[in-house]
Amino acid sequence: HEHVVVAGGGQSGAQLVSSLRDEGFDGRVTLVCAEPEAPYQRPPLSKGYLSGTESDAALPLRAEHFYADHDVRVLPGQRVCGVDGHARRVQLADGGLLDYTHLVLATGARNRALAIPGADLDGVLSLRDLGDARELRKRLAQADRIAVIGAGFIGLEVASVARQLGTRVLLLEAADRPMSRAVSAPTAEWFAAAHRRAGVELHHGCQVGELLGRSGTVTGLRTRQGAEYRADLVLMAVGVRPNDEIAAQADLAVSDGIVVDEYLATGDPAVSAIGDCTRFPSRFAAGPVRLESVQNAVDQARCLARRLVGKPQPYAALPWFWSHQGGNKLTIAGLADHADRFVTRGDPATGKFSVWCFRGRRLLAAESVNRPAEHMAARRLLTAGRNPTPEQAADLDFDLKHHAA
Ligand code: FAD
């Protein structure tokens, strides 16, 4: 009898079990969830849930009865802590064993910690799961000044929410601009200015060297450059590391992520991996990539579910992403990593524009700020491999939607 065991009940694990049933899979399905809650969405944790506009009820990915209705066995608060690929059996944290015919690693990622003095002081937080979000929400309500370390998406989103709540915000970034790994310079600079206008004190090019405290509680920080700042709450938002250890222990290839092929298969035909924990080949990138997005988690899960019911297709979905920062909506289609030419469409001063990223004359990505229709057009263009010229992309009179159709 077939038995699919899924390690990890996050965005990709939850999607996989539901897609398996949608595809007509009638074997056993077990979802091993390290967290105590049934699978929920993470994006609101740094947005509406943190600001208080979204409640707990809005978080679950599926209704409570969904799993029972679809004959999915959920093991909350349980982890897969070892894989025996020869026996096709996983070991659970409580000592239990589960035999599988197929194992799916959907273990996600965890926050990277900065190994600096003071990192263990009370009031130093990070944000990945619901427990973290509840703690941050509670502390934010009492804080006078939060120092956010790292101006990536999560750092910027939390900074925006904190400003909305009236908290003073210090935001420190080691690179020379926010979101430096993910977006082009024009987009990053526009957001830097928007956050400053909202009252965020943003400093680039500074590395935090030490967190300062009194009686075990954080009171501020010192940068490597020698500046000192006061803060009664600190959020470390310096990126994530993939949860790939159980794969490595099972002798599967890992390289900052579990290495899979275009079918999301590992070197063991009975083990696949999906979501934030994977490194995979993408036709939209120069080399194998690891992505952290809802789109990637969901689309990889759907792709794998189809393979597991005998309809294999390479994973070829277009990467896209969104981030909401203080009323501004950033949407990204494609991957701009190796772009060398950027054209702006629309006037950034109006707060509505997009940046089209090319390599030579080949379109790689588009970043849209408060321009949802252009984002949708970019998704269609990139998926279809239709390539407006840089001149067309910059020309507001050129109808991109029509070109995409
Ligand atoms: P996860 O959702 O992280 O799920 C992995 C699960 O596996 C976790 O519950 C983990 O505890 C569990 N686990 C780990 N190891 C084991 C084990 N050995 N056994 C059992 N269980 C295990 N993406 C966007 O596209 N847009 C956004 O606006 C956005 N905002 C975000 C805001 C926040 C605060 C965060 C944290 C993420 C955000 N993301 C956003 C990213 C998005 O949520 C992730 O890319 C997505 O959740 C990845 O899904 P996943 O299933 O790979 O991993």
Taking the chain, what is the end-to-end CA distance rounded to the nearest angstrom?
Answer: 46
How far is ligand 1, taken at its centre, from the CA of residue 42, in Å?
7
Other Cβ atoms less than 10 A from the Cβ of 391: the count is: 10
Q: Quick one: what percent of the chain has pLDDT higher than 90?
A: 97
Amino acid type, 272: S
Whether residue 104 has pLDDT greater than 80: yes
- Nearest atom of ligand 1 to the alpha carbon of 109: 3
| Distance (Å, whole) CA 238 – CA 150 | 5
The owner of tokens 């740094």 is: 46
| Distance (Å, whole) CA 357 – CA 340 | 7
- Pair 388, 403: CB distance under 8 Å: yes
Other Cβ atoms less than 10 A from the Cβ of 3: the count is: 16
Name the residue among 238, 239, 236, 245 with its Cα closest to residue 34: 245
* All residues at 6 or more sequence positions from 385 whose CB lies less than 8 Å from its CB, including other chains: none
* All residues at 6 or more sequence positions from 274 whose CB lies less than 8 Å from its CB, including other chains: 12, 13, 16, 104, 105, 106, 264, 297, 300, 301, 304
Establish whether residue 44 lines the binding site of ligand 1, counting it when its CB lies within 6 angstroms of any ligand atom.
Answer: no
Establish whether residue 123 lines the binding site of ligand 1, counting it when its CB lies within 6 angstroms of any ligand atom.
Answer: no
Q: Which of 107, 272, 318 to mutate to test the pocket of ligand 1 (most atoms within 8 A of CB)?
A: 107
Whether residue 240 has pLDDT greater than 90: yes
ipTM of predicted complex: 0.99
Establish whether residue 213 lines the binding site of ligand 1, counting it when its CB lies within 6 angstroms of any ligand atom.
Answer: no
Query: How much is the average pLDDT of 296-318?
Result: 98
**What are the residues facing 149 on neighbouring strands?**
172, 236
Whether residue 97 has pLDDT greater than 90: yes
CATH architecture label of 113-236 = 3-Layer(bba) Sandwich (3.50)
Question: Which of helix, strand or coil describes residue 274?
Answer: coil
Q: Which residues of 246-280 are buried (b: 16+ CB within 10 A; e: fewer)?
A: bbeebebebeebbbbeeebbbebeebbbbbbbbbb
Per-residue confidence (pLDDT) for residue 185, from 0 to 100: 94
CATH topology identical between 3-110+241-308 and 327-404: no
Amino acid type, 249: Q
Query: How much is the average pLDDT of 15-40?
Result: 97
Whether residue 163 has pLDDT greater than 80: yes
| Distance (Å, whole) CA 42 – CA 184 | 25
Question: What's the pTM?
Answer: 0.98
Query: How much is the average pLDDT of 348-360?
Result: 97
CATH of domain 3-110+241-308: 3.50.50.60
| Distance (Å, whole) CA 158 – CA 178 | 13
Amino acid type, 84: D
Whether residue 405 has pLDDT greater than 80: no
Query: How much is the average pLDDT of 356-377?
Result: 97
Establish whether residue 381 lines the binding site of ligand 1, counting it when its CB lies within 6 angstroms of any ligand atom.
Answer: no
Q: Which of 11, 15, 42 to mutate to test the pocket of ligand 1 (most atoms within 8 A of CB)?
A: 42
Query: How much is the average pLDDT of 179-185?
Result: 93
Going from N- to C-terminal start, the domains of the chain cover: 3-110+241-308, 113-236, 327-404
CATH architecture label of 327-404 = 2-Layer Sandwich (3.30)
How far is ligand 1, taken at its centre, from the CA of residue 293, in Å?
8
